[in-house]
Amino acid sequence: GQQVMQIPQYQHVQEGEDFTTYCNSSTTLSNIQWYKQRPGGHPVFLIQLVKSGEVKKQKRLTFQFGEAKKNSSLHITATQTTDVGTYFCAGAGKSTFGDGTTLTVKP
Amino acid sequence: DTGVSQDPRHKITKRGQNVTFRCDPISEHNRLYWYRQTLGQGPEFLTYFQNEAQLEKSRLLSDRFSAERPKGSFSTLEIQRTEQGDSAMYLCASSLGDWGEAFFGQGTRLTVV
């Protein structure tokens, strides 16, 4: 069945450094969604990408959907301590979540 | 509407017992999803409903798991003859349609002893 892989599994950064997580699917996705889960919390929706090559920005966060619609990335510029958490991508109508990238930020 | 609510928040049960969890989605959402999440993993899809119809069930899901959404509103997830490997956080989410964003509940943490 469809699988969604995320790398890296963990990322530790100094506050102010940039961060990127990558999501790769074994099959073409109709759309991809990104969620953030804070420690002890539940996943919270960030954004949905639909079009091939789409790029969306939310303040310091930039999301990209690959041309082949099989990969996506989330980039955070100048991380802050409020960015800590695990970032998940989800495809296939929310039935396939990656295992996430856990971001820790050292002040 | 205050979002997706799940009950109970925590459940400790003895191995072999049956447990039932409840999820109340956002009222106008027609899609309801159940996931299981363990430490360090992403949400693992279990099943989803469109209104009262259960449209998909994970092939990995044991026959001991069953879910219902009788009137297309709240849903229940039952686990029969619980095993220690069932210990996990059980998350419910709802959305408006297939492409809508999923709103998650706080989850029910199950511990099987």
A42–B105 C-beta distance less than 8 A: yes
So what's the pLDDT on residue B74?
97
Could you tell me if A21 lies within 8 Å of chain B, comparing CB atoms? no
So what's the pLDDT on residue A2?
64
- In tens digits, chain A (107 residues) has pLDDT values of 568 999 999 999 999 999 999 999 989 999 999 999 999 999 999 999 999 999 999 999 999 999 999 999 999 999 999 999 999 999 867 778 999 999 999 99
Closest residue to A93, CB basis, from B98, B103, B106: B98
Could you tell me if A51 lies within 8 Å of chain B, comparing CB atoms? no
Which residue of B49, B57, B101, B103 is the best one to mutate when testing the A interface, meaning the one whose CB has the most A CBs within 10 A? B101
Q: Cα distance from A107 to chain B (closest Cα, Å)?
A: 23
pLDDT at B101 over 60: yes
The vertex-A18 CA angle with A12 and A20, nearest 5°, equals: 75
CB < 8 Å to A97, chain B:
35, 42-45
B102–A35 C-beta distance less than 8 A: yes
Q: What is the DSSP string of B32-76?
A: EEEEEE-TTSPPEEEEEEETTEEEEE-TT--TTEEEE-TTSS-EE
Could you tell me if A63 lies within 8 Å of chain B, comparing CB atoms? no
Neighbours of A100 (CB within 10 A): 25
Q: Which two tokens stand for residue A59?
A: 């303040």
So what's the pLDDT on residue A69?
95
A95–B43 C-beta distance less than 8 A: no
CA distance B65 to B88: 14
Select from B33, B23, B21 the least CA-distant residue to B96. B33
So what's the pLDDT on residue A39?
93
So what's the pLDDT on residue A45?
95
So what's the pLDDT on residue B1?
53
Could you tell me if B110 lies within 8 Å of chain A, comparing CB atoms? no
For residue range B46-90, list pLDDT tens digits in order.
Answer: 999 999 999 989 987 889 999 999 988 999 999 999 999 999 999
For residue range B2-46, list pLDDT tens digits in order.
Answer: 799 999 999 999 999 999 999 999 999 999 999 999 998 999 999
So what's the pLDDT on residue A75?
98
The amino acid at A46: L
Could you tell me if A98 lies within 8 Å of chain B, comparing CB atoms? yes
Distance of CA B74 to the CA centre of its chain: 11
Q: Which two tokens stand for residue B90?
A: 């059980």
Q: Which long-range contacts (CB under 8 A, 24 or more apart) does A35-39 make?
A: A35/A87, A35/A88, A35/A89, A35/A90, A35/A97, A35/B102, A36/A85, A36/A86, A36/A87, A36/A88, A37/A85, A37/A86, A37/A87, A37/A88, A37/A100, A38/A84, A38/A85, A39/A84, A39/A85
